[in-house]
Amino acid sequence: MADSGTNEGVRERRTSGPGRLLVAVYALFTLAAGSRAAVQLSTRFDEAPLAYLLSAVAAVVYLIATVALARRGPTWRRIALLTCSFELFGVLTVGTLSQFDQDAFPDATVWSVFGRGYLFIPLVLPMIGLYWLRTTHDQPA
């Protein structure tokens, strides 16, 4: 837990190289989930409030994850870890529920059916994110 400040100002492996590619894909999904949520909430919120609010939550989580993955330092790393974990939890939960409870999810969100509408990238992305956060963490927990 004793994260020293020795990494300050030094190039961090987590936020360079493949880490930047990860940020780019996360940014893309922030845009996809965000525009979808904006349209759903503004035009037909009454039809499926639960699904549309989830869309908005997904978009916000993608946004926070994008920023956290791009920023240096142990605090941002922790936030990235939290948001990536939440995403994996979200896509697995919504993916499973959307199989059984069609009434609650009549319209698609990015997480429906494990992100099938988005080439399953929403399912794979948090796994890659968590893997990246793990491999670039040089200090043992």
Residues that bind another protein (CB under 8 A): 16-21, 23-25, 27-28, 31, 35-36, 38-39, 42-43
The span from the CA of 10 to the CA of 72, in Å, is 9
Q: How far is the CB of 21 from another protein (least distance, A)?
A: 4
Q: Nearest approach, Cβ of 33 to another protein (angstroms)?
A: 12
Cα separation, 124 vs 36, in Å, equals: 20
Q: How far is the CB of 91 from another protein (least distance, A)?
A: 19
- What is the closest distance, in whole angstroms, from the C-beta atom of residue 24 to another protein in the complex? 4
- Side-chain half-sphere exposure of 114, counting CA atoms within 13 A: 8
The token pair at 138 is 């040089």
Instruction: Using the minimum distance from each CB to another protein, give the nearer residue, 3 or 107.
Output: 107
Name the residue nearer to another protein (CB basis): 24 or 127: 24
If you count DSSP H runs as helices and E runs as strands, how many of each does the chain have, helices first?
4, 0
Minimum CB distance to another protein smaller for 6 or for 42: 42
Q: Which is nearer to another protein, 20 or 134 (CB)?
A: 20
3-state secondary structure of 51: helix
Q: Write down the residue that tokens 């922030």 correspond to.
A: 30
